[in-house]
Amino acid sequence: MKQIILCALLLGAGGVVWGQAVAPQPAVAATAPTLADLKKQFETAMRDAQKANREALKTLRQVYSDTLTKLQTELQAKGEMQAVLVIRDEKTRFEQAGDIPAAALASEPAALRKAQDDWNARCQQLPAAQAQKLVGISERYMQQLAQLQKVLTAKNDQEGLKAVSEETDRLLGNNVIREALALVKAGKPAAPDKTASATPAAPVKPEAGKPDTAPAAKVPEAKLVEVGDYKFYPTGKEPAAKDLKDQRLEFPTAERRNAAYFYTLTAKVYFDKAKMTADKHNYAGFGYSTKVDAGDLVIFPRVSLASRNRDIPEGSKLVIQYFSRHITRLTDIHEERVEHIKLPLILHGQSLTVDGQGITLSKSDRHDSDGFRIRSGREYYGVILTVLDAEDKVLTQQCSPSSLIKSCTATIAPAKDQEAPTTTGRKKTN
């Protein structure tokens, strides 16, 4: 190895090697990268970092799913049926939701809770690590722009300088980078107060019979809160409801995904079939029968909001956009309602759950014994959930299903009530 290095040095110096004279090579001027080159490198690095983050989350999900499979196999071998049912239900729920909200945390079996805690601990590390990576890429790009600016200044290239200045402004105004910076800042310990006295205060002696160390401050336990017509329950203590279906919430952008470090949204939907009727008629003499399922189906969303590393301030609001589709024309997607819900203060570490007022959809489904079928009306399609602060800045936003991502915007529509439903259209007419 030393010989190889020595040969390289000798060749590079243009000296004599093995009795052969090496002619000196003319110097080649290094070409400074252009703004287009730097911009392309930066955007590629950002895309690669975001892709790596998605792959990391995908791997975490697979690890948790594999852990549940292993646990189920072990418990089946022991004949622990109740535990097996819990594991199987959790696996089904997780495959649909792709997350583990506070309401889904299990107390038994202990092995399941440990797997859930491991998942949450690893997931909490992902956004911070991703933010650090994005900030590093952005800072390098900013330095490269500064170097390019010096080169262009020396050349008095005014047009090039203007382009670099505009690109620098675009970089500093990038919301993804701003969110990443906020995450990095939140993860750093607070700087010591330089104005404080250098002399430590004298320790306070504990009272007799009491411990000499005070317990760490705890987050106050969440309590039932009423804001207007809405009740906010501590997550896990909300009223029981049948036919709850988990909604797999998707982030519309990488910027919104970074917000998961601060806030967590989970949603379930339940269907009230009380106004649905099922009529069956048999025509014995003709060997023919019909069945008609018709009426109004009421859909209520149940949303849980958890504040993880930052409070959700009082005066914020949750906006629920409800979407339906025609029961036979699946591409006919319609925004049925926009519901605005004022939020109470949710302290860091707390989680509250609220039920939306929902929407009502009418439909009719007639089956004949000879195979003839007539269907009309609309069915539930999905929701967009957005949390905004008092100044209408988006704190977090998610949707279900992923096809609604194109409808997610930072500008939220004003509250809108649902039009009266019918089985043939969206609005009753006189």
pLDDT for the residue numbered 287: 64
Beta strands in 219-262 (DSSP E): 225-227, 230-234, 245-247
Q: Name the one residue in this structure whose structure tokens are 């990095």.
A: 184
Let me know: does 305 contact 263? Beta carbons within 8 Å: yes
Token pair, residue 68, equals 């549940």
pLDDT for the residue numbered 29: 43
- What phi and psi, each to the nearest 5 degrees, are found at residue 50? -70, -35
Let me know: does 368 contact 250? Beta carbons within 8 Å: no
Start-to-end CA span in the chain (Å): 92
Low-confidence ranges of the chain (pLDDT < 50): 1-23, 25-29, 189-216, 424, 428-430
> Is the bond preceding residue 33 a cis peptide, omega within 30 degrees?
no
In SS3 terms, 215-226 reads as CCCCCCCCCCEE
pLDDT for the residue numbered 387: 95
Q: Which of 118, 135, 138 is nearest to 188 (CA)?
A: 135
pLDDT for the residue numbered 421: 61
Pairing mode of beta strands 225-227, 20-21: unpaired
- What phi and psi, each to the nearest 5 degrees, are found at residue 283? -110, 85
pLDDT for the residue numbered 356: 94
Task: Go through the chain and tell me how many residues it has.
Answer: 430
If DSSP codes are grouped into helix, strand and coil, which group holds residue 413?
Answer: coil
Global pTM value = 0.55
**Dihedral through CA 199, CA 203, CA 204, CA 208, nearest 10?**
-170
